[in-house]
């Protein structure tokens, strides 16, 4: 692998990316107009030391997840993203694998709606990007790796989420998740990571296996959800899932009815972020 060329490309694109373009405040004057290593590391969900080693050619064989995260954080175009994959010695994701590319326009949408909890998922319900308010509301995902970032895995095999369910809403939610995963498997038959995820879910969850084997069909609908936040308490919000045409992405958005206690709680969470709320 051309580790030196990979590191040079990352450094070059980091230097050209101003903080504002990445949704960050400019802050104090800087020697270069681009992102600092610490800022790129934060945006990509990795350590600053690892970014340093990548740029210096001392870290070899970055995974496809690492390359994808760097491409998103650096706001690379489709061609630039493909080039970065090749420099890492990896084949760029093809049309038969679940796309994880977040377009610059979707990035700008998240950057500008800074007061609204929003997250971007791919077709398999793997979390690609979450803004600060979403992390404050649903839990900080920055430390999650691999399957821990997949909403289907977290629901059936992991710790679950903060959304409260009735028996009916739980049944509808699970059916929609399994139906979405089956549809994604049909669209991306060559995606080995997706096939492995489905096999793990079928082996580890009787509930998932039963829904999968019966061919259950469902879809996600706009709904009011109550989120049990560990510090702020119950917050009831409207949850909408938007599809991005041409990229097979899902944008999850939570909003509160103006003038309600839920709106006040959400505003407080947005201001305080992921820090622990005082009693």
pLDDT-derived band at 145 (thresholds 50, 70, 90) equals confident
Question: Using one digit for the tens of pLDDT, what is the confidence trace for 191-241?
Answer: 999 999 999 999 999 999 999 999 888 888 888 999 999 888 999 999 999
C-alpha triplet 21, 27, 30: angle, nearest 5°: 85
User: What is the bridge-based pairing of β-strands 118-121 and 127-130?
Assistant: antiparallel
Q: What residue ranges of the chain are covered by domains with CATH 1.10.260.40?
A: 3-87
Integer Cα distance of 92 and 111 in angstroms = 26
pLDDT (mean) for 99-120: 87
Integer Cα distance of 40 and 219 in angstroms = 36
Residues 6+ apart with CB under 8 A from 98: 122, 123, 124, 126, 184, 188, 191, 193, 194, 248
Dihedrals phi, psi of 8, to nearest 5 degrees: -65, -40
Q: What pLDDT score does 150 carry?
A: 95
Return the CATH number of the domain spanning residue range 3-87: 1.10.260.40
- With a cut of 50, say whether residue 278 has pLDDT above it: no
CATH of 104-272, one of 1.20.58.1610, 3.90.1150.10, 3.30.450.180, 3.40.50.11890: 3.30.450.180
Strand partners, 237: 225
Are residues 168 and 144 in contact, defined by beta-carbon separation less than 8 angstroms?
A: no
- With a cut of 60, say whether residue 245 has pLDDT above it: yes
Q: Find the helix packing angle between 3-16 and 37-44, rounded to 10°.
A: 100
Q: What pLDDT score does 112 carry?
A: 85
Q: What pLDDT score does 94 carry?
A: 77
pTM value is 0.80
Q: What pLDDT score does 27 carry?
A: 65
Question: Using one digit for the tens of pLDDT, what is the confidence trace for 39-93?
Answer: 899 888 888 999 999 999 888 889 888 998 899 889 898 889 999 999 999 888 7
Q: What pLDDT score does 137 carry?
A: 94
- Nearest partner of 102 among 125, 73, 124, 80, judged by Cα: 73
Are residues 102 and 72 in contact, defined by beta-carbon separation less than 8 angstroms?
A: yes
Mean model confidence pLDDT for the chain: 88
Q: What pLDDT score does 9 carry?
A: 94
Q: What residue ranges of the chain are covered by domains with CATH 3.30.450.180?
A: 104-272
């Amino acid at each position: 692998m051309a580790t030196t060329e990979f590191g040079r490309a990352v450094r070059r694109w980091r230097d050209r990316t101003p903080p504002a373009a990445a949704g960050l405040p400019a802050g104090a004057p800087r020697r270069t107009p681009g992102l600092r290593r610490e800022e790129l590391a934060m945006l990509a969900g990795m350590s600053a030391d690892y970014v340093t080693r990548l740029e210096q050619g001392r870290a070899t064989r970055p995974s496809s997840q690492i390359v994808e995260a760097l491409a998103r954080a650096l706001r690379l175009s489709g061609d630039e993203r493909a080039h970065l994959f090749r420099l890492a010695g990896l084949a760029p994701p093809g049309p038969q694998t679940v796309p994880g590319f977040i377009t610059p326009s979707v990035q700008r949408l998240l950057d500008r709606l800074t007061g609204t909890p929003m997250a971007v998922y791919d077709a398999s319900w793997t979390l690609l990007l979450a803004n600060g308010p979403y992390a404050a509301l649903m839990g900080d995902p920055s430390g999650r790796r691999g399957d821990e970032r997949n909403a289907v895995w977290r629901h059936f095999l992991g710790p679950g989420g903060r959304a409260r369910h009735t028996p009916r809403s739980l049944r509808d939610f699970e059916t929609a998740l399994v139906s979405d995963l089956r549809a994604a498997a049909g669209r991306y038959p060559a995606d080995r990571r997706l096939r492995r995820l489905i096999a793990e879910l079928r082996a580890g969850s009787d509930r998932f296996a039963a829904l999968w084997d019966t061919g259950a069909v469902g879809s996600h609908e706009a709904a009011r959800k109550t989120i049990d936040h560990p510090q702020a308490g119950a917050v009831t919000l409207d949850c909408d899932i938007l599809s991005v045409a041409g990229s097979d992405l899902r944008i999850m958005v939570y909003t509160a009815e103006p003038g309600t206690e839920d709106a006040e709680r959400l505003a407080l969470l947005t201001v305080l972020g992921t820090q622990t709320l005082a009693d």
